[in-house]
Amino acid sequence: MFFASDNSGPVHPKIMQRMGEANTGYAMPYGNDALMDDVRTSLRDIFEAPEAAVYLVATGTAANVLSLACYAQPWQTIFCAQHSHIEEDECNAPEFYSGGAKLTLIPTDNKMTPDALRRAIARRAGGSVHMAQAGPVSITQVTEFGSVHSLEELRALTAVAKDAELPVHLDGARFANAIAALGCTPAEMTWKSGVDVVSFGGTKNGCMGVEAVVFFDPAKAWEFELRRKRGAHLFSKHRYLSAQMAAYLTDDLWLQMARSANSACARLSEGLLAHGAQMIHTPQANMIFARFPRAIHQKLQASGAKYYVLDGDVATGDGDEMLGARLVCDWSMSNYLIDQFLSHF
Amino acid sequence: MFFASDNSGPVHPKIMQRMGEANTGYAMPYGNDALMDDVRTSLRDIFEAPEAAVYLVATGTAANVLSLACYAQPWQTIFCAQHSHIEEDECNAPEFYSGGAKLTLIPTDNKMTPDALRRAIARRAGGSVHMAQAGPVSITQVTEFGSVHSLEELRALTAVAKDAELPVHLDGARFANAIAALGCTPAEMTWKSGVDVVSFGGTKNGCMGVEAVVFFDPAKAWEFELRRKRGAHLFSKHRYLSAQMAAYLTDDLWLQMARSANSACARLSEGLLAHGAQMIHTPQANMIFARFPRAIHQKLQASGAKYYVLDGDVATGDGDEMLGARLVCDWSMSNYLIDQFLSHF
Amino acid sequence: MFFASDNSGPVHPKIMQRMGEANTGYAMPYGNDALMDDVRTSLRDIFEAPEAAVYLVATGTAANVLSLACYAQPWQTIFCAQHSHIEEDECNAPEFYSGGAKLTLIPTDNKMTPDALRRAIARRAGGSVHMAQAGPVSITQVTEFGSVHSLEELRALTAVAKDAELPVHLDGARFANAIAALGCTPAEMTWKSGVDVVSFGGTKNGCMGVEAVVFFDPAKAWEFELRRKRGAHLFSKHRYLSAQMAAYLTDDLWLQMARSANSACARLSEGLLAHGAQMIHTPQANMIFARFPRAIHQKLQASGAKYYVLDGDVATGDGDEMLGARLVCDWSMSNYLIDQFLSHF
Amino acid sequence: MFFASDNSGPVHPKIMQRMGEANTGYAMPYGNDALMDDVRTSLRDIFEAPEAAVYLVATGTAANVLSLACYAQPWQTIFCAQHSHIEEDECNAPEFYSGGAKLTLIPTDNKMTPDALRRAIARRAGGSVHMAQAGPVSITQVTEFGSVHSLEELRALTAVAKDAELPVHLDGARFANAIAALGCTPAEMTWKSGVDVVSFGGTKNGCMGVEAVVFFDPAKAWEFELRRKRGAHLFSKHRYLSAQMAAYLTDDLWLQMARSANSACARLSEGLLAHGAQMIHTPQANMIFARFPRAIHQKLQASGAKYYVLDGDVATGDGDEMLGARLVCDWSMSNYLIDQFLSHF
């Protein structure tokens, strides 16, 4: 009963298999392997972006900060949601890679709103040399609270950015889960909606450790390559990153796994609601933020269930103290485990 | 006939197998996997250093620069051989990770000498605030030219560093090849010889992408953990790094592979000498720098052999123009390929 | 009628005179001038801190960021008031000098409160490697809104920092104005209240361009000297910084000028209140934030008065639209100019 | 008898006077003072560059590193002479301001040669992502050893840079002394010879602390302004920088002072030669590197003469041990002091 994170599950067997198949003889290092040519083509196809510059790195933080650094000058500020991963979970990696740019936190409990973004950008307008200058806008899709921006919502945000002539980064650590939720195309959720660069996550969705960075403006390619090497993120035995991504893209495996995860999450969510849990956010992908009674938490933990209890999130419901929890389903989550979890309610 | 680099060969099957075995169910992320506990214990045993702080990263550059950054202040200079990897092949990653430290190049064609090191350090003595301050000494073992410092040579270098109260980093991207060449213990080649931190390479020696960083002073542990995360080098699915290293350390696989590589290199070297090649450096591990006639280069390249021709390294021998080449053997190099290579002479 | 800032007034004649007196013959450069010895002794006396490490730089931003960088690791966050100078007016200099530390903004309109600070620090507790780690607390005295923390308030803040074992920086760009307001000693407002390092401002208070940095822990001395040189802030002709500071400290000139400025501000403030202006903050030193009718703004500006109109600060009073203004008095502000300003009401 | 450095002499009275004249009433801060408009116009006139972007900072290191940072990406290397100020005397400030760029040292004892520069650049050619990329070329005029590149020599160097499409920075800490030596115009020694940005020094030549940075490509203006502020080098009471520069430029004071310094140096140099000293470099501006007998050094030092003895520079001449010395004359050096110095020979 592991609901702590989608970064802790196993790798899909098809991905393991492709890595094994790649393990024969010599291959050109540093991204010059033949498999990477296939991956590049596939990603360009999937994103309907024949000119896109496409790269692989091994961690989600690397994908975020290397791509942001290509758009954020050291004297600028990056606009992001208050609880975004780049603010809360990357130990100043965005500041490090950008050479000291600031992060301006858009106040929000979940999805960034166009109004809040506009106000934050407006405070950086006017051209005074004294303040941090307006830099890129970073949007997280799926959000850190399991919500998914509709295409309309996404476009409203990027429109605010474009009005201010600011580039847009999409943190897509859970990109596939968002596509599965929206039923749109990758192109629709990125460049057709005003996104300039996207981290296309694999690690949380059944890969071992691979993320694609897709620049829709190929002019950023060489800078990214230099930043990746300088950041020590260029793999010599790159073919094993390529192999993961190749398998992930084959026959829509990426989408199938995301659908499994989302569907497991829906089953869990329905079960929780049926047992009287309160939803803190409406789950739209593969993460649930819910409150349920302290007594049930105790039973679950005694039975070995793993998940995050939300510090300080306490409410009262039905005469019992309700504590918040974060529950995440990965591609491999089984109905059996979900039902076992729910059986403690 | 791939002699271009030891970073381009396949992963040893036992390592692939262990990664597959690790691929079951959920595992704690970020280095908290149970396998990492085994790896930590094994590395401490192998290094006879029960207190050592031990970490895994996925690239050799990351191992070098994250560990150096724990010892190099931004206003200091790192002393290293003129042609070291950190100077020539890491695209300013040491400068980036140290926050702008300088590299002072010790003039040498191959192994750093104690006298040259002493002179370079002496120029930073005196406490003037105007100049870069003396910082760590970084030694590469095996060197970039395939030479191995004897324990005596190593200790002569670290003695110079210790006289100046400077810490010592060992770039051990080919650590195993050096141990195989010297026949000493890892402890003898590191802390017993005055080394403070070592990059213990796996990637060039049959792993997929894993390097251990071993600090003999555990006080550096927490800083390293923060630097690794901030550098985006902390893997969520860390168990697959652990699995590689676990297999690598089991039954001395690391040493067996290094012996295979060194032994292949010796066979190739003898063959080259027998055919009249000139050795630019005496090969001591798994790399050869040799000159042979241009005509033979042409035959080899026509036959598909892969290796680096050394730009500008041209000499005359036996009435023919001799061009320099770098030839590297990895653990998987076969006698068949070596003999095939030599058959073109 | 220049009320725009105290950084735009003239230099006190006694300071100009001392600079002229220093202009004879040769003097040792880089802070080794004899005058600096006097300045060091005077500052240690004034702060009752015989061991303090004392340095001069030419800008307030340099004083802040060089001293903060000695306490903030790149993976940490600096806690500061939401509208502090280091956040709003230094164009990412704190991030630059600290190597990429973050600033955590304590929500407040004016003075930081202990509760808000405690909550912000608590969110960084727990030792997770994923988040920015808790770093120094920076307090501004006089605040950016003209308020002065009482010694009790100051100690309540530093107590929160000390509970969390965090160092405390005091941005004293208007240090003298705060001392003049509180009537306490420099020691009471600094190390006796838990401050570890202070920027002791001169530039805004009648100097040409000089700020002292005073470390109560002399162990930081050498690091500061290296950071100052590396930041290009070490003056070769340092005697002219020393001369400014020497004159500033002689016969309490610093305190006299601050008293003049505060007293001018009090006169202006009383006049404004008498004419029905609304005080946005209670002026306690030499800055006023007040609202008065748009019509009066127009008259003032037509007459050439210089001050900042606060964007977006609009209220209604007495049937007229009231706009916010920031008015600052420096040491040289005359009763004549104040009365002239008030005559437009 | 102060020959230690031209950064330790007094400020020219006309400069002090202009600073005093500027000290009336209020002035717009941060470079918006009216005097700066005059300075900008004057510098554009002097450089025959009506579009140039012109800024003032207070230290030579700031002028160098802020302007270099506008041309050097963090993954690049700056090419400079082995003993240049940016390498030896700025405590990693170039690395800091560029975000971690490397300095590639062109081997030379004094003036950089085109061949050596070409070879160094060639080693960075080829587009490999692994190495530091070729960045700006920095030339020092007057060199650190008192030599002056002829226009022909300068153009030979910038031609090498231009061939490789690299920008050129001129460290003109002693710009005026070079102009006085060559008798050419500032335009000839800069943009007409291929220089893109120049540090036009004032501090070593009779100012208190002011350097102009002149960009011949005005597109760099805004980036420089942001870098200057972020580096904490933007002065609020900027008028006193302007006043220095205004006086310095009036009636060719800058050139007159440089001529005085060079002429003092020539007198000293002739005297030394007449007394049998060996010139290490041929003095061409206001610095002498010469060897003379140890016994004379002892007499000079006993008499209170100040200058640098060159560590390790020892030779034998006329049966006596000859030690090297660096002797610098500033604008205020008198014949009396020179003759007094020479009287000890």
**Mean pLDDT, rounded, for B292-308:** 94
Q: Given a contact as 3+ CB pairs under 8 Å, which chains touch A?
A: B, C, D
Mind listing the pLDDT tens digit for each residue in C69-124? 999 999 999 999 999 999 999 999 999 999 999 999 999 989 999 999 999 999 99
Q: Do C129 and B226 touch (CB under 8 A)?
A: yes
Residue D227: list chain A partners with CB under 8 A: 75
SS (H, E, C) chain C: CECCCCCCCCCCHHHHHHHHHCCCCCCCCCCCCHHHHHHHHHHHHHCCCCCCEEEEECCHHHHHHHHHHCCCCCCEEEEEECCCHHHHCCCCHHHHHHCCCEEEEECCCCCCCHHHHHHHHHCCCCCCCCCCEEEEEEEECCCCCCCCCCHHHHHHHHHHHHHCCCCEEEEECCHHHHHHHHCCCHHHHCHHHCCCEEEEECHHHCCCCCEEEEECCHHHHHHHHHHHHHCCCCCCCCHHHHHHHHHHHHHHHHHHHHHHHHHHHHHHHHHHHHCCCEECCCCCCCEEEEEEEHHHHHHHHHCCCECEEEEEEEEEECCEEEEEEEEECCCCCCHHHHHHHHCCC
What tokens appear for D267 in the block? 């007198």
pLDDT score, position C318:
64
Q: Do A58 and B209 touch (CB under 8 A)?
A: yes
Please name the member of A59, A60, A230 whose beta carbon is closest to the beta carbon of B91: A230
Cis previous bond, D54, omega within 30: no
Distances (CA, A) of D198 to B322, C293, D66, D139, D215: 46, 50, 11, 10, 7
pLDDT score, position C248:
98
* Residue A54 scores a pLDDT above 80: yes
Percent of chain D whose predicted confidence (pLDDT) is above 90: 94
Residue B88: list chain D partners with CB under 8 A: 130-131
Q: Do D88 and B129 touch (CB under 8 A)?
A: no
pLDDT score, position A317:
64
Task: Report the side by side order of strands in the sheet with A308-317.
Answer: A278-279, A287-293, A320-328, A308-317
* Residue A50 scores a pLDDT above 80: yes
pLDDT score, position A318:
63
How does strand A287-293 pair with strand A308-317?
Answer: unpaired
Mind listing the pLDDT tens digit for each residue in B96-124? 999 999 999 999 989 999 999 999 999 99
pLDDT score, position D317:
64
Rounded to whole angstroms, the Cα distance separating B211 from B203 reads: 7
pLDDT score, position C3:
93
The pLDDT mean for chain B works out to 96
Q: Which of A5, A8, A12, A87 to mutate to test the interface with B (most CBs of B within 10 A)?
A: A8
Does D227 touch chain A if contact means CB atoms closer than 8 Å? yes
Cis previous bond, A54, omega within 30: no
How close is the nearest chain B Cα to the Cα of C332, in Å?
Answer: 38
pLDDT score, position A313:
78
Please name the member of C24, C96, C229 whose beta carbon is closest to the beta carbon of D10: C24
Q: What is the DSSP letter of B318?
A: T
Residue D230: list chain A partners with CB under 8 A: 74-75, 100
Q: Do A229 and D130 touch (CB under 8 A)?
A: yes
Residue B193 near residue B154 (C-beta atoms within 8 A): yes
pLDDT score, position D315:
76
> Binning pLDDT at 50, 70 and 90, where does residue C60 land?
very high
In sequence order, the 6+-apart residues with CB closer than 8 A to the CB of A63 are A57, A173, A199, A200, A201, A211, A212, A213
Q: Give one word for C328, left, alpha or beta, with left for phi > 0 and alpha for psi -120 to 50.
A: beta
Residue B21: list chain A partners with CB under 8 A: none
Q: Which amino acid is at B66?
A: L
Rounded to whole angstroms, the Cα distance separating A221 from A199 reads: 14
Would you give the end-to-end CA distance of chain B in angstroms?
14
pLDDT score, position C313:
78
Q: Do C96 and D230 touch (CB under 8 A)?
A: yes
Rounded to whole angstroms, the Cα distance separating C249 from C54 reads: 14
Rounded to whole angstroms, the Cα distance separating A64 from B155 reads: 43
Does A232 touch chain D if contact means CB atoms closer than 8 Å? no
Q: Does the pTM exceed 0.80?
A: yes
Rounded to whole angstroms, the Cα distance separating D252 from D250 reads: 5
- At residue B204, φ and ψ (nearest 5 deg) are -75, -5
Mind listing the pLDDT tens digit for each residue in B150-172? 999 999 999 999 999 999 999 99
Please name the member of B99, B129, B229 whose beta carbon is closest to the beta carbon of C99: B99
Q: Which amino acid is at C202?
A: G
Residue B229: list chain A partners with CB under 8 A: 61, 90-91, 93
Q: Do D29 and C19 touch (CB under 8 A)?
A: no
Rounded to whole angstroms, the Cα distance separating D310 from D291 reads: 9
Does B312 touch chain D if contact means CB atoms closer than 8 Å? no
Please name the member of D92, D103, D133 whose beta carbon is closest to the beta carbon of B74: D92
Rounded to whole angstroms, the Cα distance separating A133 from A165 reads: 12
Rounded to whole angstroms, the Cα distance separating C63 from C55 reads: 9
Does C102 touch chain A if contact means CB atoms closer than 8 Å? yes
Distances (CA, A) of B40 to B34, B197, B205, B254, C186: 10, 15, 19, 16, 52
What tokens appear for A72 in the block? 């954020």
Please name the member of C92, C103, C129 whose beta carbon is closest to the beta carbon of A75: C92
Q: Do B129 and C226 touch (CB under 8 A)?
A: yes
Mind listing the pLDDT tens digit for each residue in A305-318? 999 999 877 777 66
* Residue B145 scores a pLDDT above 80: yes
* Residue D316 scores a pLDDT above 80: no
> Binning pLDDT at 50, 70 and 90, where does residue B126 land?
confident
The 3-state DSSP class for residue A202 equals: coil
Task: Report the side by side order of strands in the sheet with C320-328.
Answer: C278-279, C287-293, C320-328, C308-317
Mind listing the pLDDT tens digit for each residue in A101-130? 999 999 998 999 999 999 999 999 888 999
How close is the nearest chain D Cα to the Cα of A191, in Å?
Answer: 28
Rounded to whole angstroms, the Cα distance separating C266 from C263 reads: 5
CA-closest candidate to residue B89, choices D130, A2, C211: D130
The 3-state DSSP class for residue B5 equals: coil
Residue A23: list chain B partners with CB under 8 A: 10-11, 13, 16
Does A91 touch chain C if contact means CB atoms closer than 8 Å? yes
Q: Do A75 and D129 touch (CB under 8 A)?
A: no
CA-closest candidate to residue C265, choices C177, C179, C203, C202: C177
Does B232 touch chain D if contact means CB atoms closer than 8 Å? no
Other residues' Cβ atoms within 10 Å of the Cβ of residue A321 = 13
Q: Do D74 and B96 touch (CB under 8 A)?
A: yes
pLDDT score, position C57:
98
- Structural domains for chain D: 13-252 (3.40.640.10), 254-342 (3.90.1150.10)
pLDDT score, position D302:
94
Rounded to whole angstroms, the Cα distance separating A189 from A182 reads: 9
Rounded to whole angstroms, the Cα distance separating B309 from D193 reads: 38
CA-closest candidate to residue A94, choices A187, A222, A227: A227
* Residue B125 scores a pLDDT above 90: no
Q: What is the DSSP letter of D178?
A: H
Q: Do D232 and C10 touch (CB under 8 A)?
A: no
* Residue C127 scores a pLDDT above 90: no
What tokens appear for B325 in the block? 């080449």
pLDDT score, position D318:
64
Residue B2: list chain A partners with CB under 8 A: 25-26
CA-closest candidate to residue C6, choices C317, C212, C265, C224: C265
* Residue D102 scores a pLDDT above 90: yes
Q: Do D99 and A74 touch (CB under 8 A)?
A: yes
Rounded to whole angstroms, the Cα distance separating B91 from C298 reads: 58
Does D132 touch chain B if contact means CB atoms closer than 8 Å? yes
Which residue's entry shows tokens 């530093």? C158
Q: Given a contact as 3+ CB pairs under 8 Å, which chains touch D?
A: A, B, C
CA-closest candidate to residue A292, choices A318, A266, A270, A263: A318
Mind listing the pLDDT tens digit for each residue in C147-200? 999 999 999 999 999 999 999 999 999 999 999 999 999 999 999 999 999 999
Residue C242 near residue C202 (C-beta atoms within 8 A): no
pLDDT score, position A312:
76
Work out the angle between the directed axes of helices C239-249 and C13-21 (0-180°, nearest 10): 140
Please name the member of A100, A130, A227 whose beta carbon is closest to the beta carbon of D229: A130
Mind listing the pLDDT tens digit for each residue in D235-247? 999 999 999 999 9
DSSP annotation string for B137-170 = EEEESS-TTS----HHHHHHHHHHHHHTT--EEE
Pick the more confident residue, D125 or D135: D135
Which residue's entry shows tokens 């934050």? A120
Angle at D232 between CA D228 and CA D87, to 5 degrees: 70
Mind listing the pLDDT tens digit for each residue in C12-50? 999 999 999 999 999 999 999 999 999 999 999 999 999
Does C231 touch chain A if contact means CB atoms closer than 8 Å? no
Q: Do C74 and A95 touch (CB under 8 A)?
A: yes
What tokens appear for D135 in the block? 């960045």
What tokens appear for A102 in the block? 């600031």
Percent of chain C whose predicted confidence (pLDDT) is above 70: 99
Rounded to whole angstroms, the Cα distance separating A118 from D40 reads: 37
Residue D229: list chain A partners with CB under 8 A: 75, 129-130
Element at D139 (helix H, strand E): strand D133-140
- At residue A134, φ and ψ (nearest 5 deg) are -65, 130
- Say how many residues make up chain B: 345
DSSP annotation string for A135-157 = EEEEEESS-TTS----HHHHHHH
Mind listing the pLDDT tens digit for each residue in A181-233? 999 999 999 999 999 999 999 999 999 999 999 999 999 999 999 999 999 99
Residue A61: list chain C partners with CB under 8 A: none
**Mean pLDDT, rounded, for B291-307:** 94
